[in-house]
A and B are shown apart, each in its own frame.
Chain A
Amino acid sequence: MEGTKLKVDRLTAYYGDNPAIREISLDFPERRVTAIIGPSGCGKSTFIRCLNRMHETGAHTRVEGKVLLDGEDIYDDDPVRVRRRIGMVFQRPNPFVTMSIYDNVSVALRFNGRHPREYVDQVVIRSLQQAALWDEVSDRVDAPATSLSGGQQQRLCIARALAAGPEVLLMDEPCSALDPLATSKIEELIGQLKQDYTVVIVTHNMQQAARVADFTAFIYLGGLVEFGPTEQLFERPKERLTEQYITGRFG
C-alpha cells in the first residue's frame, strides 16, 4: 500500500460563524491522483483551499483540525513555506499579465532568493516540459503571457506552480473554463504528473474524475460521504447518497 502524503484530520472551516466543511478526515495517497467530486457549493473548493492555507486569506475565516504533510501539521508552520510545498492551480487561468512566459514561470524562483541565470533557465524549461507547453513556446519565451490561448495559459499556470518545486499539486476545477481539446491535453498531463507529484483535483465533471483519478472522494453539504478507488466508486458505490449523486438523481 502506498504511503499517505497528506493526511486530513477532522478539518472544519468557517466563513464567519458558518462551517462550510465539517470534520472531514481523509488520507491522500502519495503520487496518486485523488479527485474530489460533489455538487456546487458543498464545500469542495473550501476544502481544497484549506490544504494550502489559502482559505485563511479570506475575510472572517477560521480553520479547525489538522492537515499533516508528511506527518507535520501545516497549520503549525509558516503559511508561505507551506504554499511552496503545496502548489495550486485555479479554475480560470491567471497568469501575471505584466510578465512574459519566462518571467511567469520563474516568478517563484526569482522572488524567493537569488539564483544564477542558468539554473533559472533550467527550471523554466523543465517546468514547461512537465506542463506539456515547452514545444509550443520554446521559440517565444519572452512573449507576454497574455499572447497564449486559454488552454496554453492554464498550462503556463501549471508550469508556474511546478517551478516552485512543490510536492503536492492542488487543482481547483482546472479545466472548467477550457474547451474539450485543451481539457484533454491537461488531463493527459495530469496522468504524467502523478509520477512525481501527489495530485488533488476538484472537479464537478464525473467523467473527468473517472478519466484521471486513482481515488475519488465525494463531498456533500460539507461532509465526506465516501472515499475509495475511482473504479469502485463509479461501478459500485457503497453509499446510497453517492449512487444518487453520480447517477444524477439528486433533488
Chain B
Amino acid sequence: MNEEPPGGPKIRAGYDLEIRHLKNRAVEMGDWALQMFHDGWEAFEAGDLEAAQKVLDRGAQLDRYDEDMEHAAIAFLVLRQPTAIDLRTAAALLKITTHLDRIGRLGFDMARITSPETSGDKDDLTRVLERMDAVVESMVRQALDALATDQVSLARDLFRRDDEVDQLHREANRRIIDLMVKTPAAAPRLAMDLLVARHFERIADNACKVGEKTIYALTGQRRSEYLPRHPVVPYVLEAPRKDGRARK
C-alpha cells in the first residue's frame, strides 16, 4: 500500500471488494448468531428439547465463523497494511466478531437451560419476555443491516432502543421475583427465566456495541463523541411485598 498500485483501477476495485467481502462475512456470522438466538429462545419458551439440541449442534459452526473472521481480518491487516477507514474497518471487525459470537453464545445458553417442565401460569411474565425477544431480535437485525449497508444513522438508533430493553428487563425481574414469592415451588424454573431475561439484556448490549464499532469504522468517532454519558447508579432490586402482590 505504498504508492499507486501498479495495476491501476482494477487492483483498487479488488481491494474495495476485499473489504466488502470481509463485512459480508461478518454479516453472515451475525445471521447465524441471530438464528441461534431466535431458535434458542423458542426452544426455551416451548420447553422443546429436540429444538434445543438443534441449536446446541450449531455451536461448532459459530466457533468456526469466529476463527475465520479473526484470521481474515488479521490477514487483511498484515498484507494490505491499511490506513484510515480501511484500518478502522479491520480493527472494528475484529471486535464485532467477538460481540456476534457472544450473541450466538447467549442463544446457545438459552437452549442449554431448556427444560420441558412448564411453570404454570405466568402470562404477564411471558408477555414481557416475548416483547423483549421481539425488540432485541429487531435490534440485532438492525445492527447487522447497519453493518451491511454502511448506514451510520441505523447504528445510532440502536442506543435509543436499548433504553426500552432496560425498562423491560427491570419489569421482567420484578414480575419474576413476585412470582417466586407467590409460588415458591416454581422457583427453580423461574430462576431460569431470570437468566433468560438477563440474556436478552446482554444481547441488546452486544448489538449496541456492534453498532458502536460500525460507527467507528465509518466515521472514526468514538462513543463519547456522540452519546452523552448518563449517570449510572446501581440497580436496586426491590424487596418483594409480603402479600405477594406486584408493586407498581
Which A residues have a C-beta under 8 Å from some C-beta of B?
39-40, 204-207, 210, 234-237, 242-243, 246-251
Contacts and interface: CB of A to CB of B under 8 A. Distances in A.
Contacts of A250: 4
Contacts of A237: 84
Closest 6 CB pairs of A and B: A236-B220, A246-B83, A234-B83, A243-B84, A205-B2, A247-B86
A243 B4 contact: no
A235 B84 contact: yes
B8 A251 contact: yes
Nearest to B219: A236
Contacts of A247: 1, 82-86
Contacts of B4: 39, 248, 250-251
Contacts of A40: 3
Interface of A is mostly: loop
Interface residues of B, number: 19
B5 interface: yes
Contacts, number: 49
B1 A236 contact: no
Nearest to A204: B3
Given A39-B4, A247-B84, A248-B5, 5 more contacts: A40-B3, A205-B3, A236-B88, A243-B84, A247-B85
B12 A206 contact: no
Contacts of A242: 84
Contact of B85 (A204, A210, A243): A243
A241 to B, nearest CB: 12
Nearest to A203: B2
Contacts of B83: 206, 210, 234-235, 246-247
A80 B37 CA distance: 75
Contacts of A210: 83
Contacts of B5: 248
A206 B2 contact: yes
Contact of B88 (A207, A235, A249): A235
A116 to B, nearest CB: 47
Contacts of A206: 1-2, 83
B81 interface: yes
